[in-house]
Structure 1
Amino acid sequence: MKNEAQIRILLLQQYLCTLTDEEHAASVSDILQFWESHGIQAGRKSVYSDIQILIDQGVDVVCVKSTQNRYFVGSRLFELPELKLLVDAVESSHFITRKKSASLIRKLASLTSQEQAKQLNRPVYMEGTVKQDNEAIYYAVDMIHTAIQEKRRIAFQYIEYTAEKEKVLKHDGYRYEFSPYALIWSRDYYYAVGWSEKHGKLAQFRVDRMTAVELLVQEAIPAQDFDPAMYVHQVFGMFGADIRRITLLCENSTMRSVVDRFGEEVQTEIVDGAHFQTTVDVAPSPPFFAWVFTFGGKIRIMEPEEIAAKMREMAMWLQ
């Protein structure tokens, strides 16, 4: 019967994709037994012809020739090392909840054989981070993406914490109206960057702290020469501050860290045998000062003087 032949081929593809790999090939007898367990009676010739149909349709069925030929699926959409990499990224992401992580990993595991999928069950230990518990964040991200693509505004409320660690709505539930330009992933958090009506300037909000996100009909305020890559490059840690041109005096041993932070295109010049100097455009915000502090004096702010003075003032807090 025609329908039975179609079902037989679909079952064969399912069997080969799910139960075979390089180390677990299936014989003709294995395939016949599998068909029989699903109520399909067929002969060896059907196995050969159906495998050829799958090959003709682009399925990479590999034949291991011997006294009893054995078959397995070779190349897949994702190779096992690629799936391991993706699973590690999902497992270690602060942004993705435990529930969603488990769901995504199950879906990724379905892209390989059952035996190889067992190798994807391996915990990744994260440093200093915990998983989110806000399932609604995925819908907020999707809505913001839609707003960016359709050039529309969004409205939302923003969450903060009291001294008792209770979640409350900032500014008594004020609804921000916002024209999103980009979603930026920084330090394992999503940030929406765009024009804030409340602040009257470019601003950024952490998406996991946004709630009651609503897509508005109003058109977004057009971005004025907004470059997401440059924005990330300049604004440390996504804390709001005006961009300033800052000159840093650095010991030679810090060059790798300077390149990591500002990119290989950063302009530097030699000062003496032990130091170099660089001038960068950054936001002089707490994360920037914290970055400078981590070098224990090996990187110093030279200009402008008011930024250097602010750094010295912050250092006084440690006394």
Structure 2
Amino acid sequence: MAIQPQKMKTLYLMEILLQRTDEKHILSANDLAAALQEYGIKAERKSIYADIEALQQFGMDIVQQKGAHPGYYVASRNFELPELKLLVDAVQSSKFITTKKSDELIRKLEGMTSKYEAQQLQRDVFIYNRLKTINETIYYNVDQIHNALHSNAQISFQYAEWTTKKELQLKKNGALYFVSPWALTWDDENYYLIAYDAAADIIKHYRVDKMKHIHILDEVRVGKERFLDFDLAAFAKKTFGMYGGYDTNVTLLCHNSLVGVMLDRFGQDVPLVPVDEEHFYVKPLVAVSPQFFGWVTGIGSLIKIDGPENVKREYQEYLKKIIENYV
């Protein structure tokens, strides 16, 4: 049995206030009565006053403005406009969120404020020149992994890699991977699963968008003891591009102009040791790998690997192989 619109007057009034009012857009009791008419609801001013009082007691921050232009508006919401701008920009700039899904999420975020402030969200951060994935399976993968984490269960999946034809091809001829998932992390605009591989007795990471056919297993997760003192932030920070390599502290001799670069890469707590008026040492824990060497090479002559000796030799070999391509 359908409920008569008149009986839902207070709910419609709440919707009107949320969608059509803010500090710069105020509606009088007469304006609110006219808006309710759009829903086929008749309302006298006294009943509107009573409904507003009920909504205020319910917890809505409805402010009454007096003076030459009296009226009502919603003063605060779950998310303030600057917070929504940050969230919208994060969605729009995230590479792993498709353009279609970005549009859907932004429309929902716009519903968290008035229609007038929602226009500011569209104007300020509606940017389409950023790289976007076309793979929407990541949303279902993340959901499956969260379900496994909540259920304390292992998972199986197939893993893929890109081919020269720009197609994802299953690795190991489509063999199944069996792991215990323990965390999800976002690094370099990609989602990664951090998991324990019992067969190899090692902590591994996998790009979530490259995981295929995830199944939650009946087996309980294992490897909990390996994660008791696991620092996820440190793991992500030292693993350049999430490609792995062996972990070691590397001494880097840097020009003073690189202070910001080092703090951005290794965090604000990394010690900077002055060497002279123009240089300093930093000794972060990194995953020594081609990705790390590529990062150092990109900075150029302003940085030097000063130790340990085996890392210096590996870097020399890395550079030698690059040069050989141009001989």
Tell me if TM exceeds 0.5: yes
Question: 2 CA distance for matches of 1:252 and 1:68?
Answer: 58
Amino acid across the alignment from 2:308: P
SS for the counterpart of 1:72 is strand
**Aligned equivalent of 2:119:** 118
Contact 1:176 1:197 in 2 (8 A): no
Q: Closer, same or farther in 2 for the Cα pair 1:208/1:50, shift >3 Å?
A: same
Amino acid across the alignment from 1:227: D
Contact 2:5 2:39 in 1 (8 A): no
Question: 1 CA distance for matches of 2:300 and 2:36?
Answer: 69
Number of residue pairs the alignment of both structures matches: 317
**Alpha-carbon offset, residue 199 of structure 1:** 4.6
Instruction: Show structure 1 runs of 5+ residues with no match.
Output: none
Question: 2 CA distance for matches of 1:96 and 1:218?
Answer: 31
**Aligned equivalent of 1:226:** 230
**Alpha-carbon offset, residue 89 of structure 1:** 0.9
Give 1:52-91 correspondences, 5 Å limit: 52-67=53-68, 69-91=70-92
**Alpha-carbon offset, residue 256 of structure 1:** 2.5
Give 1:38-187 correspondences, 5 Å limit: 38-67=39-68, 69-122=70-123, 123-125=125-127, 129-187=130-188
**Aligned equivalent of 2:288:** 284
Instruction: Show structure 2 runs of 5+ residues with no match.
Output: none
SS for the counterpart of 2:250 is strand
When the two structures are superposed, what TM-score results if normalisation uses the length of structure 2? 0.89
Q: CA RMSD in A?
A: 2.2
**Alpha-carbon offset, residue 66 of structure 1:** 2.8
SS for the counterpart of 1:39 is coil
**Aligned equivalent of 2:210:** 209
Amino acid across the alignment from 1:287: Q
Amino acid across the alignment from 2:253: L
State which of 300, 304, 308 in structure 2 corresponds to 1:304. 308
Question: 2 CA distance for matches of 1:120 and 1:238?
Answer: 33
**Deviations along 1:59-102, whole A, 9 cap, x unmatched?**
11112213562111111111112111111111111111112111
After TM superposition, the structure 1 stretch with the greater mean CA deviation from structure 2, 303-312 or 115-124, is 115-124
Question: 2 CA distance for matches of 1:192 and 1:99?
Answer: 24
Contact 2:148 2:154 in 1 (8 A): yes
Amino acid across the alignment from 1:59: M
State which of 271, 284, 299 in structure 1 corresponds to 2:275. 271
**Alpha-carbon offset, residue 23 of structure 1:** 1.8
Contact 2:158 2:176 in 1 (8 A): yes
State which of 242, 245, 248 in structure 2 corresponds to 1:241. 245
When the two structures are superposed, what TM-score results if normalisation uses the length of structure 1? 0.91
